[in-house]
Amino acid sequence: VYNVYMAGRQLCSKRYREFAILHQNLKREFANFTFPRLPGKWPFSLSEQQLDARRRGLEEYLEKVCSIRVIGESDIMQEFLSESDENYNGVSDVELRVALPDVTTVTVRVKKNSTTDQVYQAVAAKVGMDSVTANYFALFEVINHSFVRKLAPNEFPHKLYVQNYTSAVPGTCLTLRKWLFTTEEEALLNDNDLAVAYFFHQAVDDVKKGYIKAEEKSYQLQKLCEQRKMVMYLTMLRTCEGYNEITFPHCSCDSRRKGHVISAISIRHFKLHACTEEGQLE
């Protein structure tokens, strides 16, 4: 049995004969494409060296074939990259890598059919997060470098691995982020080292990306950041525009004949910014 990884994510486990069936199905579906050679079948037991050579050969085969977008996104390939009920009855263990706010990652081993809530509990336990702190964070899917989507409690995070294995996001499409919008409640966690560290790192990243407008406080904030004075940094940043605000990707709007709008929401307001169809603010 070969474990299939792509972009550092374990997608499924397959036997050699399943690779052979995939190869034949793809050749029938994409008759005009010249497929790379699949490692040959061997009727006798393979040595460790031969097994390793076959493993590398299968890996190279998948990389070459999936680099062709129309093949990598085809139903045949997507079905292959999903776990086989024939072998595992849908309950095999998989490894999921989750990005943390402090730019590190954590890997958890869960059942393939684990829900968002189950995966989140595994992540919280792995990073040593207590039940109180866990109420202020959640799992998100990285849609692109400027937007993340909060996962619903009953989604299956492993399915996102299969759907996003060709994404431009390095390492993982899953990330842990703050899910708290009242600055007063956030300030009550100033004695919680883990929560403060995660709030701080996420805030620094949001300032870099322009989500939070530091403006005239930029110099002071930069100094506090360099000195790792996290609580003081957060206290000052909470007064800045954009803090604890979610900004959505630009989209069309019935009220505008030309151009798009960017919507932003916080616990205090809902804002609409006029922008071009490319997302440039007007």
Q: Determine the pLDDT at residue 90.
A: 46
Domain limit, last residue, from 178, 204, 222: 178
Q: Residue 86: enclosing H or E segment and its boundaries? A: helix 85-88
pLDDT-based confidence at 195, cuts 50/70/90? very high
Residue 1: predicted pLDDT:
65
**Are residues 6 and 84 both part of a single domain?**
yes
Domain check: are 22 and 77 in the same one?
Answer: yes
CATH of the domain at 165: 3.10.20.90
Q: How large is the average pLDDT for residues 222-250?
A: 94
37/229: higher pLDDT: 229
Instruction: Look up the domain containing 117 and give its range.
Output: 93-178
Q: Are residues 66 and 138 in the same domain?
A: no
In a domain, 280, yes or no: no
Which pLDDT band, with edges at 50, 70 and 90, does 154 fall under? confident
Q: Are residues 229 and 256 located together in one domain of the fold?
A: no
Do 69 and 126 lie in a common domain?
Answer: no
Residue, of 157 and 256, whose pLDDT is higher:
157
Name the domain count of the chain.
4
Q: Is 281 part of any domain?
A: no
Average pLDDT, the chain: 86
Sequence-distant (6+) residues with CB within 8 A of 108 are 95, 96, 98, 119, 122, 123, 126
Quick one: 169 and 232 in the same domain?
A: no
How far apart, in whole angstroms, are the C-alpha atoms of residue 205 and residue 203? 5
Provide the pLDDT for residue 170: 55
| 56 and 34 inside one domain | yes
Report H helices in 110-254: 116-126, 131-134, 157-163, 183-187, 193-208, 218-226, 230-237
- The answer on 146 and 72 residing in a single domain is no
**Entry pTM:** 0.68
Q: What is the pLDDT of residues 24-83, one digit of tens each?
A: 889 988 988 899 988 877 655 677 787 788 888 888 898 889 888 888 888 888 888 876
Asked whether the CA dihedral 187, 190, 106, 87 is positive or negative, the reply is negative
Which tens digits make up the pLDDT trace of 131-147?
Answer: 999 999 999 998 877 78
Q: In terms of domains, do 39 and 54 share one? A: yes
Mean pLDDT of 157-166: 74
Across the range 149-158, mean pLDDT stands at 90
Query: Where do we find the tokens 């776990």?
Result: 83
pLDDT band at residue 86 under the 50/70/90 scheme: very low
Residue 52 included in any domain: yes
> Please, which pLDDT band fits residue 165 given cuts at 50, 70 and 90?
low
- List phi, psi (to 5°) of 107: -110, 130
User: CATH number for the domain including 9?
Assistant: 3.30.1520.10
Q: Given this model, what pLDDT does residue 9 score? A: 65
The verdict on residue 83 lying in a domain is: yes
What percentage of the chain has pLDDT greater than the value 90?
Answer: 46
Torsion of CA 189, 193, 194, 196, to 10 degrees: 50
pLDDT exceeds cutoff 90 at 208: yes
Mean pLDDT of 198-222: 94
Last residue of a domain, one of 66, 88, 110: 88
Q: How confident is the model at residue 191 (pLDDT cuts 50, 70, 90)?
A: very high
